[in-house]
């Protein structure tokens, strides 16, 4: 028996979604972009990054698209002046945990010409030298929000890279604490090995009692 789809409107566009999916999933399957950093397919919604906030008609406040189920007849607005201001403020806080200079640079398109020479001269940093360059959620969100400045100064935490395992490399100086790895470890792998350790500015990803993997 064919499952009946749910029909809703996202930014005025009629979208048909599978029953039970979130508004974020429905939008993505329809080719519509809503920024999100903590969400990953197959995980329970964490709603921690707060970038996917949306406005639903006749509801008093903004809600996270990742944790809101798509419903028949729902009318969703993903962008407005107020929403964009909230997202930009939230994203600036997130970027305070990550080197953001390349994301703001107006001349980053020219970096590829110097990439090979610079990498031979010293150990460089920046997006263009990252293996995720061009396939990075932070870059995508920064581009979508048209971020031009960050109100918070980035401070390199100077923490050593985590190379305890031959299959896992973790640089805590680049980590934005989105929690994806912790959720995958617990919800998908069922191991619950990775966790958040310490508190406040010292918060990091680690293992219980700092045990080796």
How does pLDDT run across 119-154, given as a tens digit for each residue? Answer: 444 444 678 778 888 899 999 999 999 999 999 988
> pLDDT tens-digit profile of 61-105?
999 999 999 999 999 999 999 999 999 999 999 998 888 888 888
- Which one, of 201, 96, 108, lies nearest residue 150 by Cα? 96
* pLDDT score recorded for residue 118: 46
Backbone φ and ψ of 86, nearest 5°: -65, -45
Give the alpha-carbon dihedral of 204, 205, 210, 213, to 10 degrees.
-160
* pLDDT score recorded for residue 115: 55
Cα 144 to Cα 153: distance, rounded to the nearest angstrom: 22
Say how many C-beta atoms besides its own lie within 10 A of residue 3's C-beta: 8
What the block records as the tokens of 133 is 């360059």
Residues forming CATH 3.10.20.740 domain(s) in the chain: 6-79
- Under CATH, which number does the domain 6-79 receive? 3.10.20.740
């Amino acid at each position: 028996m064919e499952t009946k789809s749910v029909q809703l409107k996202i930014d005025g566009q009629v979208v048909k979604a599978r029953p039970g999916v979130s508004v974020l999933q429905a939008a993505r399957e329809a080719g519509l972009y809503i920024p999100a950093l903590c969400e990953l397919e197959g995980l329970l919604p964490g709603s921690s990054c707060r970038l996917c906030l949306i406005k639903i008609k006749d509801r008093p406040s903004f809600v996270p698209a990742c944790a809101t189920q798509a419903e028949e007849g729902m009318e969703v607005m993903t962008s407005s002046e107020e929403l964009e201001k909230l997202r930009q403020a939230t994203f600036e806080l997130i970027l305070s945990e990550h080197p953001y200079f390349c994301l703001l640079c107006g001349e980053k398109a020219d970096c590829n010409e110097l990439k090979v020479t610079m990498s031979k001269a010293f150990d460089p940093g920046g997006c263009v030298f990252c293996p995720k360059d061009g396939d990075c959620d932070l870059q995508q969100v920064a581009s979508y929000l048209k971020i031009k400045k960050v109100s918070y100064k980035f401070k390199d935490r100077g923490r050593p890279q985590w190379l305890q395992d031959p299959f896992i490399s973790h640089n805590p100086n680049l980590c934005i604490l989105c929690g994806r790895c912790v959720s995958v470890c617990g919800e998908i792998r069922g191991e619950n090995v990775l966790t958040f350790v310490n508190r406040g500015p010292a918060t990091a990803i680690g293992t219980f009692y700092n045990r080796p993997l």
